[in-house]
Structure 1
Amino acid sequence: MEYGWQRKILSVVIYLCLTACSSTVHGVELTTARHLFDIKDTFNQPSDVAVAKNGTIYVVDGVNCRIQAFSSAGSYLFTFGRPGTGPGEFAFPLGMDIDESGRVYVADSRNQKIQIFSAKGDFISEIPVPGTNGKKADPTDVAVDGSGQWFFVADNNNHRILKFDIASKKLISSYGKPGEEKGEFRYPFLMHLHKNKDLYIVDVINTRVQVVNTDGKFVCIVGGWGVEKGQFFRPKGVAVDKNGITYVSDSYMGVVQLFNVTGTFHSVLGDPVTGGVKKFTTPVGLFVDDSMRLYVVEMLPGRLSVFSLDNAK
């Protein structure tokens, strides 16, 4: 049973292991995250964040069925979207991405479509996400190719990834099926497309991040189930910085772990105040911008926390 007492006990064991190790000189390596500011008291179960080239911060405010935008300093700018099924309306949006021109792509999960907006939140178009074998699609995230050719959709309900042509808005290909082998998924959730080359996919119930190329060919696996460093209990969000370091949030454990380019363990996000592991409450979506600022969405507290990464390399 997914939420059984065994896993609850194990989550405590994992946390104690990480915390104990992080307090020793020769224990788990830490990457210091210096807190800059929080945005809170305005969201209801936010799930994802993306930052435009001009510094505008966009947050998916899921239960409120809207996107909120903020300045690079965290000041409120504007909101777009409302509950509904029509253009510019959402039914539990989950993931998002921004293309090179600043257009905002939103995975509108219960409306089974991807919606595209201008940088100021004006509705542009929508693309239906088809189901398969009699099951509706459940698009939980979208990742946009910087060249303007494709975007990718995580279909959580059907355990697959879909590739669409941006110009024609047509489905080009799909890959993945239920399972635990390479190229198989059990509830893919959030994603990150790194340098238009590798797609990082949070494979939630398989407790790993799968990396594939833009044609769906397997590249590597990051993490896996377990109680040691570099392993996960319930991964949810993923981001990759300009140096190729991968960041993965674990919503049960309340930590963010870092991995090297090869997928091996790098460090755990650390708190410079306590000198130990930085703890979060249900962390989900992540984003790292070019100035090495890390954005962490915490779903249940309804908070976005922003950090400066002091020693990530």
Structure 2
Amino acid sequence: MSVSAFVRVPLTTLIVVWAALQGTSVQTEQRGGTVQTDNVQPVNSGANPYRVIRDWAQFTSEGRPWGGSNGVAIDRDGKSVWAVDRCSPGTTPGCVGSKANPVHHFDASGKEIRSFGGGMFVWPHGIHVDRDGNVWVADARATSPDDLKKFPGEDNKGSVVVKFSPDGKVLMTLGKPGVRGNPPEALTDPTDIVTDPRNGDVYVAESHTDVTDPNLVARISVFDRNGKFLRVVGRTGTGPGEFRTPHAIEFDSQGQLIVA
């Protein structure tokens, strides 16, 4: 799997290119992200000023293919890009038993600047860059009994949020690695993080629990900028202010928290 970039293209350019293609029988094959999507044609209900650049970002330092990826964020410089991957193709086993770095920083051209976090995560999910340029990563799983049979000694990883400096130094960990539970002691399969740009409070979306689990956890846990637990927003359910598996969170320009 690879990260793709989207760039704006003037509509007139698109029209010219389309017209030119109509006058030739030559077709250029463009590889898709997966076998399943190679032949899928885009369907847009409105004007789309973007085009896809396949394989925009590559792992030059480790020289390996992309693993499953679920998180991307723009650096505070407005140009470079941060992303996480799960160390191995597909969804399992993720980063369990791997020393590959799952946190990556790319410049505006897609060239890798640095990567870090090897041996720290189980299943990286969300990533966020705060107003100071620090990088937050959510680890949405703890190791399972099956994982531990294959990879003994990996029980002290997962179900946490880790705050890094831009060069990869660990500055803070929310939750207890390898333990699923309730804040302030632990988190349950956190999926995403965002910081309040006004005061630095940290909002953590939980969880990645199976919705059929009778003990389903679904909430937003809030901490201050120093990691002190403050409160919980929402609860498990399907009514107003309730969640099933909150997967992504962000603040809008009005300071309102948006939860997906």
RMSD of Structure 2 on Structure 1 (CA): 2.8
| Alpha-carbon distance between aligned partners in 2 of 1:216 and 1:231, rounded to the nearest angstrom | 23
Verify the 8 A CA contact 1:230 1:265 in the aligned structure 2: no
Verify the 8 A CA contact 1:150 1:163 in the aligned structure 2: no
Verify the 8 A CA contact 1:153 1:163 in the aligned structure 2: yes
- Give secondary structure in 2 for the equivalent of 1:160: coil
TM-score, normalised by the number of residues in structure 2: 0.59
| Alpha-carbon distance between aligned partners in 2 of 1:155 and 1:141, rounded to the nearest angstrom | 7
CA distance 1:114–1:164, shift in 2 (3 Å) = farther
Verify the 8 A CA contact 2:127 2:135 in the aligned structure 1: yes
Residue 149 of structure 2: aligned partner: none
- Give the C-alpha shift of residue 124 in structure 1: 6.0
The one-letter code matched in structure 1 to 2:110 is K
Identity of aligned residues (%): 22
5+ residue gaps, structure 2: 10-47, 88-98, 142-157, 208-215
Residue 116 of structure 1: aligned partner: 6
Residue 127 of structure 2: aligned partner: 191
| Alpha-carbon distance between aligned partners in 1 of 2:113 and 2:224, rounded to the nearest angstrom | 31
Residue 83 of structure 1: aligned partner: none
Report the number of matched residues: 177
The one-letter code matched in structure 2 to 1:265 is F
Pick from 157, 169, 172: which aligns with 2:113? 172
CA distance 1:169–1:281, shift in 2 (3 Å) = same
- Give secondary structure in 1 for the equivalent of 2:70: strand
CA distance 1:159–1:187, shift in 2 (3 Å) = farther
| Alpha-carbon distance between aligned partners in 2 of 1:223 and 1:214, rounded to the nearest angstrom | 21
2:242 is the alignment partner of 1:279: yes
The one-letter code matched in structure 2 to 1:138 is G
CA distance 1:135–1:116, shift in 2 (3 Å) = closer
Q: Which of structures 1 and 2 has the larger relative contact order (alpha carbons within 8 angstroms, sep 6+)?
A: 1
TM-score, normalised by the number of residues in structure 1: 0.50
| Alpha-carbon distance between aligned partners in 1 of 2:133 and 2:86, rounded to the nearest angstrom | 22
- Give the C-alpha shift of residue 152 in structure 1: 1.2
Which structure's residues are more often strand, by fraction?
Answer: 1
2:128 is the alignment partner of 1:200: no
| Alpha-carbon distance between aligned partners in 1 of 2:192 and 2:49, rounded to the nearest angstrom | 24
Residue 33 of structure 2: aligned partner: none
- Give secondary structure in 1 for the equivalent of 2:248: strand
